[in-house]
Each structure stands twice: as structure tokens, then as C-alpha cells.
Amino acid sequence: MLQATAAPPRVWPFGRRAHRGTLLDMRDRVAKVLIVDDEPTTRFVLKRFVHDLGHVVIEASDGQRAWEILGDNPDFDLVITDLLMPRLTGEQLIQQVRASATLKALPILVITSKDDYEELRHLSDLGASGFARKPLTPHVRSVIQRVLEPGELPPATKLL
């Protein structure tokens, strides 16, 4: 059984589904976020950022574990992933999520130290929804908040 670490819920944690005919505004509800990174320190910092925004966090230490979690619990609102991990890389995770009928619309934010335009373009073509640059600064928290807000996702080719 997975145990989520959660900030106290502000409303109902219903993902992006309608509740009694009304879409819940992301600012007034709890999102479920999967953080995928093989570095415990990076996961800790990202978890703090997401908790500061009032959302629930599930952690995975590699892409394979993330894929297993998504298979058991497809109701996530966002995946935040590193690229270089053992067993299944972030790139491979993106490919598998985009190939899944139930998960293909799930936003994926890539946390990377890469700034090579061609590499980022390739990841965007694979289905990355957005990028944030390492090292992790409070700016990354605002990127996470923007991705979780309703409406258009930021352009994936832009390094946020």
C-alpha cells in the first residue's frame, strides 16, 4: 500500500474530475503529484515545494517504480521526473506514459540540468509538458504551481 505524504487538504482531493457538476479549481483543491528521482535530496526538496503549495506527494526512486505506481494509481495530476535514473530513465518513463491510453494526457514536468535546445526539443517531442532547471530554487515551486493551475500548460520547449 502506498503512503502519500500530504499537506492538510483544503477541499476534496478529486484530481481533475468534476464534483457535483463543477470543475474544482486547482487553487482550492489538493492535487496528487508523483515525484520521480533517484536522489533523495532532490525528492526531499521537490516534496517540500509541493507540500508548500498544499498538495499530496507520492515518491519513486526510479522510473520503473514510478511506472508501477502509475499502473496501480492512474489518478495523478502531475509527474515531476528527473532524466538520469537507474532501471527506467525519465525519457523512457515519458514514452511509456504517452503510450498509455489512460495516462497519455498526464502532465509531465522534467527537472533537468541540461540546457541543450535539441535535447529539450527531443523530450518535448516525446511528450514532456514542461521543464525546470536544476539546481532547485524557489523558482521551481512557482513552475510547479503554474503547471498545476487550470488552463494551458506552459510551452514544453521553454525552459521555465
More confident position, 133 or 15: 133
Do residues 11 and 22 lie in contact, with contact meaning Cβ atoms separated by under 8 Å? no
pLDDT digits (tens, 9 = 90+) for 98-119: 999 999 999 999 998 877 888 8
Do residues 82 and 89 lie in contact, with contact meaning Cβ atoms separated by under 8 Å? no
Which CATH number fits the domain 5-148, given the four candidates 3.90.76.10, 3.40.50.2300, 3.30.360.10, 3.40.50.40? 3.40.50.2300
Do residues 58 and 32 lie in contact, with contact meaning Cβ atoms separated by under 8 Å? yes
Supply the pLDDT for residue 4: 57
Instruction: Show me where the domains of the chain are located.
Output: 5-148
Supply the pLDDT for residue 28: 59
Distances (CA, A) of 22 to 10, 19, 26, 41, 149: 17, 5, 12, 38, 16
Supply the pLDDT for residue 150: 66
The single residue listed with the C-alpha cell 535514473 is 85
More confident position, 114 or 139: 139
In this prediction, residue 77 has a pLDDT band, given cuts at 50, 70 and 90, of very high
- Mean pLDDT across 154-160: 43
Mean pLDDT value across the chain: 80
